[in-house]
Amino acid sequence: MPLPFTTSLQRAAIVAAAAAVFAGCASTGVSRFDVDSFLTAPDTVLAEALVNKDFLRATELSNAECSALVKGHAGQVVPIQAPADPRMPQASARQPFVIQPPGSENVWLLLRGAEGMQSCHGPLPAKEFMGLVQRASN
C-alpha cells in the first residue's frame, strides 16, 4: 500500500501532466496568421490581400476603430489601383484605399464594398504593404 504522501505527489504529477497536455492541445488549435510573411511573399498579389480571409481576420479593426480612423485621417485616405486578377474575381468588388497618417511607419487598408460596408485592416508595415501595392501596379 503506497504512502498517502506519495499518492498525493503522484496525483499532483498526473494533474500537472494532464494540464500540460490540454494546454498544448489548446495552443495548437489556434493558428496565428503571419501578416509580415504574407505581405513579403513574392507570390502574394494585391488581389489576394483583398480577399484572403486569414489576412483580413488577423488585421481587422472593430467598426468603431475603423470609423474613428477614417474620420481622423480623411486627408490621408488614398485609393489604390487593384488590377483585375482572373484567379480572384471577388477582389474587384472591393474598393481598396490606404491610410498612412503623417510620420507613421504603418498603414491601414480600408476596404469599401459596393453595398457601402467598410472595414479597416492594420496596422500594416508601410514598406511591406506599399511594396505589395507597387508590385501590383507593375
Residue ranges covered by each domain of the chain: 1-30, 33-137
Strand partners, 125: 106
Query: Is pLDDT of 5 > 70?
Result: no
Which pLDDT band holds residue 69 (cuts at 50, 70, 90)? very high
Q: Which residue has the cell 500500500?
A: 1
pLDDT score for 31: 54
Query: Is pLDDT of 13 > 70?
Result: no
Phi-psi domain of 54 (left: phi exceeds 0; alpha: psi -120 through 50; beta: other): alpha
- Neighbouring C-alpha atoms within 13 Å toward the C-beta of 22: 6
Read off the pLDDT of each residue in 78-100 and give the average, rounded to a whole number: 81
pLDDT score for 17: 36
Q: What percent of the chain has pLDDT over 70?
A: 78
